[in-house]
Structure 1
């Protein structure tokens, strides 16, 4: 499979024209991935544009690609959002990476009551940017035409407010209903994943009262880094993505 690279949208080049990679992406292409003149590659902008082309110049400061074909991929008709609780170490980041590879459309950090990791002050912007960078690299690796959007952190009440416009599924090991038994006939879906210590009882009560549905994944308790990707796989099948 051809190497894939990303540029910032909009990507407007057409067949017969060229597109240039500069900065970090050019260094990654020529200095790390070692692309060579004449090599076939693909380029996207994370907003649906997808180009196939051939490298005509390969330098760590500038890579030029002659465009051979262009395809516009439509945005998903139904969006799936990961609402991931902040977690210690890199467990939340592992969830961001895996869910991006598996096709999630949006990612929202949640500072849950039991989150060990806390984003305050300047940490908020740095944390969001860190997750966005992880998602970008994972999307590039997975050859995705659309990048997931990483939003600002939300509170439990913010999540509850989403229940009026989409199906909110809270992953909870004590739930009686399995995720695979939930009918996802229409609308967007949000998957809510708690921190290492689980979702606090008052937070669960608030979400359920707002209309969220608690669901479980089998009979085992998954890590916060694993639950989201596992649930996304089930949802992908239910929505016909896989």
Structure 2
């Protein structure tokens, strides 16, 4: 109980922080949720509503130098030939959501951000078998979209490993050397796609607190360069 209160306090405090990049979707935790949480049964008339949340500790693109070199001819000019790292990184963003149905059917979430920066809305739905589709939409000035198709391959007590594919439209901006971490409106978007691996720590102690992480290994076809995305979040349900 004490750990749950501390986790909620951390989430509330993180409201004052924000990030500009596309963050991990909060509703993605539905992939690892229990099929019948807290004894709820399929035949009950009213849908089960389950609250959840997550704080993205970091979501970033650590390998982008090849993209920077390839895109500079189209979008760079003069001294503005450095990609704005602020648009590729999200950190400290809390999101809150709810899952509906028997615990593994549909989930929606919203990340408020601050001053129109870092706002996200995402939703995850279970389709056939254990295949899940997630739509992750970045709102506000920095608009970006991510689509995820995945299936868990190992599950244990609210955690596990899931593999799948993704498509991401990533906002970008070229800036001068001393403005690499400045806030600004994106000048263009890149589209990249590839394979996605996500893992979440099991609920062993019963406190419903998890550590979630992902790896995106993809390719930007327009510029013919490989890209990598990494992220970690603290989640509860």
Q: Give the TM bin, normalised by the shorter chain.
A: under 0.3
Q: Which has the higher strand share?
A: 2
Normalised to the residue count of structure 1, the TM-score between the two structures is 0.25
Which structure: larger Rg?
1
Larger relative contact order, structure 1 or 2 (CA cutoff 8 Å, min sep 6): 2
Normalised to the residue count of structure 2, the TM-score between the two structures is 0.25
